[in-house]
Amino acid sequence: MDFNDSEIYREATTQLAHAAKIINLDPNVLTRLTYPIRCLQVSVPVRMDDGKIKVFEGYRVHHNQTLGPGKGGIRYHESVDLGETVGLATLMTFKCALMHLPLGGAKGGVRVDPNKLSRGELQRLTRRYTSEIFSFIGPEKDIPAPDVGTSAQIMDWVMDTYSQEVGHAVPGVVTGKSIETGGSLGRSEATGRGVVYMLIEACKSLGTSLDANTKIAVQGYGNVGSAAAKKLVKMGCQVVALSDVSGGIYNAKGLNLDDVDQYIKENKVLKGFADADAITNEELLCCDCDVLIPAALGGVLTEENASKVKAKIIIEGANNPTTKEADMILTDKGVFVIPDILANAGGVTVSYFEWVQGLNQLFWTEKEVNNRLWEIMSMAYQRVYTIHKEKKCSMRTAALIGGIQRVSKAMLTRGFFP
């Protein structure tokens, strides 16, 4: 498959071209940034529990390594293909550069529904995939992390397989590992925490308060959404709506998250939670709230629903939750959108901390991790907000400009080889 066919890749390159025009980016740099460095496609044979061999399609893509080793998740999902992987690797380049991390952009994945595999099949798939991409990854080359459908356990298997091949423990080859294998404290909540940090900064720059009257709606009560919701409730805000794959719940007076967690523990999903009205995921996006946090899938805010959104601020916890048509409608309505590459960069930032701790074999306290995260994210926010004001462009374009400026300066001083 040609990656040019992919919607997400085309979207990433269209946004890139738009930002490049605003800053008169060197056309040679733009041309180079439009293409990934290299793409690896692998076939991953797995012996299933019934004894039969099944072959899965896997990828690892390096988009840019000017600033340092590639960084990006491994996704296990039925939608994974070359185009999606190239598009997501491209966004990783600008996300890492925007945060001033010494890392490039990469992404990987296997086309599989992990929920249909047993634990043994999942482990065999992960080990064989790691072995197939072995020459592409490494602590100085490309450092994978969890993404949709993968977890700390899967990263532990990647780390173990890589370490077996080289003959010694290499914790720096992946991030998002369990604490026992060299994971960082604060990593699992980092993306949600970063989402909240960006909301605090947005409220400061808009002159709005974040208090007991602030009503929040969160789509996707998973890793990102639940960490953000819990932190916001701790800060005194009201989380009025939540959802998961089973649907949503709404209570205008605020949801009790301890009760929600207990309900999920017993029932696995939110559907049926008693102390709230049942709503759909679509209704959640347009419910009565001040702040909307999409933290589930991409492409949920569309031309059809954007005009009905009531929130004044949107913080994109998920990657690509807003289509370009929806983006224009939201901008016209005056909704302040903090884009994904800034809003959800807490995860990659603490991944960077984990890599640094792994290389040095010196581990930080959770407080140290959170303080450094705050410092890096609030500085990135200020850079983006300044560009947004100076160039009179959206926060999305401003964030991309921030990332492009950082990586393009390094590309020009390093020069093009040969």
CB of 401 to ligand NAD, least distance (A): 20
Residue 11 engages ligand NAD in binding (rule: CB under 6 A) = no
- Of 193 and 388, CB closest to ligand NAD: 193
Q: Angle formed by the axes of helices 82-98 and 7-22, to 10°?
A: 30
**Among the residue ranges 60-68, 167-175, 242-250, 381-389, the one whose residues contact ligand NAD (CB under 6 A):** 242-250
Q: Cα separation of 107 and 87, whole Å?
A: 9
Active-site residue, 107 included: yes
Q: Binders of ligand NAD among 212-241, rule CB under 6 A?
A: 219-225
CB of 344 to ligand NAD, least distance (A): 4
Q: Binders of ligand NAD among 162-201, rule CB under 6 A?
A: 191
Among 25, 86, 216, 295, binds ligand NAD (CB under 6 A): 295
Question: Which strands form 38-47's sheet, in the order they lie side by side?
Answer: 38-47, 53-64, 104-111, 70-77, 142-146
Report CA torsion sign: 144, 150, 151, 155. Answer: negative
- Of 105 and 225, CB closest to ligand NAD: 225
Measured in degrees and rounded to the nearest 5, phi and psi for residue 329 equal: -65, -45
The site map against ligand NAD for 133-152 (x = CB under 6 A) is --------------xx----
- Of 173 and 345, CB closest to ligand NAD: 345
Q: What angle do CA 258, 156, 227 make, to 5 degrees?
A: 25
CB of 200 to ligand NAD, least distance (A): 18
Residue 296 engages ligand NAD in binding (rule: CB under 6 A) = yes
Residue 113 engages ligand NAD in binding (rule: CB under 6 A) = no
The catalytic position among 107, 177, 215, 230 is 107
The site map against ligand NAD for 316-355 (x = CB under 6 A) is -xxx------------------------x--x--------
Residue 299 engages ligand NAD in binding (rule: CB under 6 A) = no
**Among the residue ranges 25-33, 162-170, 290-298, 359-367, the one whose residues contact ligand NAD (CB under 6 A):** 290-298
- Of 128 and 193, CB closest to ligand NAD: 193
- Of 20 and 287, CB closest to ligand NAD: 287
Q: Cα separation of 270 and 281, whole Å?
A: 12
Size of the site for ligand NAD (CB under 6 A): 22
Q: Binders of ligand NAD among 50-109, rule CB under 6 A?
A: none
Count other Cβ atoms within 10 Å, centred on residue 269.
13
Q: Cα separation of 63 and 107, whole Å?
A: 8
CB of 33 to ligand NAD, least distance (A): 21
Q: Binders of ligand NAD among 366-405, rule CB under 6 A?
A: none
CB of 23 to ligand NAD, least distance (A): 26
Per CB under 6 A, residues contacting ligand NAD are 147-148, 191, 219-225, 243-245, 281, 295-297, 317-319, 344, 347
Residues carrying an active site annotation: 107
